[in-house]
Amino acid sequence: MKRVKRRYLFLQLECDSVPAEREFVDAVWASVTKLYGEVGASLTGLALINFDAERKVAVLRVTLATLSMMRASLAAITSIAGKEAAVNVVGVSGTLKALYARVQ
């Protein structure tokens, strides 16, 4: 079986209040399913790797094949837990090491 290529996304959240990890993940899933449906969402291989509520940053892992879908879904987020918010993709990389090196 062919190995699934993945990408890690470093995200910066823009919101007035600090969302909980669960609220953030729910907002991401809601955006993906709203735009691409449940079948589309199942292809993304979406996983939350890291969430720092204090710095309002998060790291997500997705499959390379659905990277464009994920970027569009993240850009389409306008609220988290009913409060105005935006999610900016600061960096994308194939390994966590390179991702952290790039954004620091």
Partner 1 sequence: MTRAFSDLHLRVNPKDQQATRKIIIKAARFRYTQISIPFTSNLNEEELTKLKATCTESGLDFVSRADFRPRSENELTHFLRKFRRRFEVICVICDSKEVARQAAKDRRVDLLSFPSLDHHKRFFDRAEAELASCSLAALEVDIKPLLILEGPPRVRLLTSLRREVALAREFKVPTVVSSGVAEERLMRLPRDLASLTFLFGLDEAQALEATSTNPAAIVARNREKLSNRFVAPGISIIKEGKPS
Q: Which residues are at the interface with partner 1 (CB under 8 A)?
A: 14, 34-35, 68-69, 71-72, 74-76, 78, 84-86, 88-90
C-beta of 22: minimal distance to partner 1 in Å?
22
β-sheet with 47-52: strand ranges across: 47-52, 57-63, 6-15, 83-93, 79-80
C-beta of 88: minimal distance to partner 1 in Å?
5
C-beta of 83: minimal distance to partner 1 in Å?
10
Which CB atom, from 1 or from 16, has the smaller least distance to partner 1? 16
Asked if 13 and 19 count as a contact pair (C-beta separation under 8 A), the reply is yes
Which CB atom, from 68 or from 104, has the smaller least distance to partner 1? 68
Which CB atom, from 5 or from 34, has the smaller least distance to partner 1? 34
In the Cβ-directed half-sphere of 1, how many Cα atoms lie within 13 Å? 3
What are residue 90's phi and psi, to 5 degrees?
A: -85, -35
